[in-house]
């Protein structure tokens, strides 16, 4: 059949792929871990990394060195962007280590996500504010906006 399909122009479907939502690394069908926005924002190492990326580092420096309110505003917008993501996050092996999650369960969810053509939603998926206690959400927001990246700026 493969030979006839080649002759008559029928192409094999390529296996699905997706980009890691943190690094843009390509993941092939079945790879990665599926996390929720609440799980993503609940990682100080994630926030330290995000606030020190080339596109955000100048705001972080300005926030800590100059107490710049516009830099703080941009850091708030960055937090809101990640905390407000409704879709699940597909995360590569490299980056899942930053999160305190059940990796086995997250891997199972990813496989289910791939099998469902990316329509599966794990429990508590959606906007982080709706899936975390208010006190927890507020403390994560405070860290991301006011503290993330501070140690790196002070040590540079």
Looking at the DSSP assignment, which residues form a beta bridge with residue 91? Answer: 33
Q: How far apart are CA 92 and CA 96, in angstroms?
A: 6
Convert the pLDDT of each residue in 93-124 to its tens digit. Answer: 999 999 999 999 999 999 999 999 999 999 99
Convert the pLDDT of each residue in 39-76 to its tens digit. Answer: 999 999 999 999 999 999 999 999 999 999 999 999 99
The CA-based dihedral angle spanning residues 26, 98, 83, 122, taken in that order and rounded to the nearest 10 degrees = 70
Q: How far is CA 126 from each of CA 57, 91, 142, rounded to the nearest angstrom?
A: 28, 16, 20
Burial of 81-114, coded b for 16+ CB within 10 Å and e otherwise, reads: ebbebeebbbbbeebbebbebeeeebbebbbebb
pLDDT category, 16, cuts 50, 70, 90?
Answer: confident
Length, in residues, of the chain? 156
Total-model pTM: 0.87
Q: What is the pLDDT of residue 8?
A: 54
Q: What is the pLDDT of residue 156?
A: 81
Q: How far apart are CA 46 and CA 39, in angstroms?
A: 10
């Amino acid at each position: 059949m493969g030979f006839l399909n080649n002759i008559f122009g029928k192409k094999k479907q390529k296996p699905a792929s997706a980009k890691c939502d943190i690094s843009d690394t390509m993941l092939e069908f079945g790879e990665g871990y599926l996390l929720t926005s609440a799980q993503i924002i609940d990682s100080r190492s994630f926030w330290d990394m995000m606030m020190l990326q080339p596109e955000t580092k100048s705001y972080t420096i300005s926030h800590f060195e100059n107490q710049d309110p516009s830099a703080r505003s941009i850091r708030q917008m960055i937090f809101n962007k990640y905390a407000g993501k409704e879709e699940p996050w597909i995360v590569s092996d490299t980056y899942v280590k930053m999160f305190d999650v059940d990796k086995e369960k997250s891997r199972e969810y990813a496989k289910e996500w791939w099998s469902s053509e990316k329509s599966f939603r794990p429990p508590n998926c959606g906007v982080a504010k709706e899936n975390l206690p208010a006190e927890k959400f507020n403390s994560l927001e405070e860290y991301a906006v006011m503290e993330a990246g501070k140690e790196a700026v002070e040590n540079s």
